[in-house]
Amino acid sequence: MMPLLVFRERVKNFYQTHDIYINPVVKFIFALISFVTINKEIGFDPRLESLPVVLALSLLCAFTPSSIMVLLATVVAALHVYYASPLLSILIVLLLLIIYFMFARFTPQYGYVILAIPVLYILKIPYVIPMLLGIIAAPITIVPTVCGVLVYYIFQLVKAAVNTQVNNSVDDILMLYTNVIDNLKGNKQMIMTMVIFALVLLVVYYVRKMRFDYAFEISIAAGALTCVLGFLISNVILDKSDQILAMILGTIVSAAIVLVIHFSQLTLDYSGVEHAQFEDDVYYYYVKAVPKVTVTTPQMKVKHINVKDMSQSLAKGGYHSGDEEDEEYDEEEDAYNDSKDDFIYTDVRTDRKNKTDN
């Protein structure tokens, strides 16, 4: 455990020292993955799939808030749909704008969630998001979680509907729009996924707020169990038994990822729990204090021998011991500390001459 804690502290110290450079790099990588995912899912316009365009958009997102990243992703997705079906793009743009304004109104700082869910769906571990948000955020983050699920299923709907060829007559356009809306409203798997993700987030959040020991770790396990049971019931109802094994494995991997993230953020020492009681004019308080596990990274101490100063001392008739242990350099104090007393060296020849003269 101690090597892991030391490694964690070193990573934290490195991040705190270089966060001005690390944050843009992380945002750039995340934006790059998001745009590549959009191009893979609904990549109809080859111009938007070109590497210079993707890199330019990702670089722009690296120095802007997450809400701008979501807006650019919405624009790119709309342009892809417009390239394939201008009529369908109108409806898709309206849906994406509704999602964007809903997210921007309630949780603008969680824009990464909307883009992360479609990406994690490709990796078969979208269950990371509700469990992680339950650990680090509040129940209001159900809004971006639901929006992310909706965006993923809109991408799937676009791929299915883009090949539908219609004329420009009003009846054909209305039929296309009606089919898209009906497919969204009638998608039971999408609705049940939203409900299960919201339930998992709430379970993790309320369990980790309880007062018993290891509440954070138990909340992750409770969220994983809720996720498995919820999707088991969903898959049985929707007759999708072929997805059960992948769902269970994905949930286990997701729980492990969230546990690692939690360990990197917070580790508590339950062996040192203290209870305190105090009062004021209105309330009497019972407080349970759990200390955090903190370690200090080992500091390197350099022992230094200054040859130049020793030579100058000899030239003046004095000598300072040149042992390696005489002086040691403390990096924190940035000063030399003598470990032995100085002593004076007397020239023997001078001493003999004085005795002879006497």
What is the rounded distance in angstroms from the CA atom of residue 179 to the CA atom of residue 279? Answer: 64
What is the rounded distance in angstroms from the CA atom of residue 124 to the CA atom of residue 324? Answer: 59
- Which helix (H) or strand (E) segment is 2 a member of? helix 2-42
Q: Exposure of 317 by Cβ count < 10 A (0-12 exposed, 13-18 middle, 19+ buried)?
A: exposed
What is the rounded distance in angstroms from the CA atom of residue 206 to the CA atom of residue 218? Answer: 11
* Residues 7-30: tens digit of each pLDDT: 778 888 888 888 899 999 999 999
Residue 46, both tokens: 């080859």
* Residues 112-126: tens digit of each pLDDT: 899 999 999 988 999
User: Could you tell me if residue 303 is left (phi over 0), alpha (psi between -120 and 50 degrees) or otherwise beta?
Assistant: beta
What is the rounded distance in angstroms from the CA atom of residue 63 to the CA atom of residue 55? Answer: 13
91: confidence class by pLDDT, cuts 50, 70, 90: confident
52: confidence class by pLDDT, cuts 50, 70, 90: very high
What is the rounded distance in angstroms from the CA atom of residue 342 to the CA atom of residue 270? Answer: 50
Average pLDDT over residues 232-261: 91
What is the rounded distance in angstroms from the CA atom of residue 155 to the CA atom of residue 137? Answer: 27
* Residues 290-329: tens digit of each pLDDT: 888 777 666 656 565 565 555 565 555 554 444 444 444 4
* Cβ–Cβ under 8 Å, residues 36 and 13: no
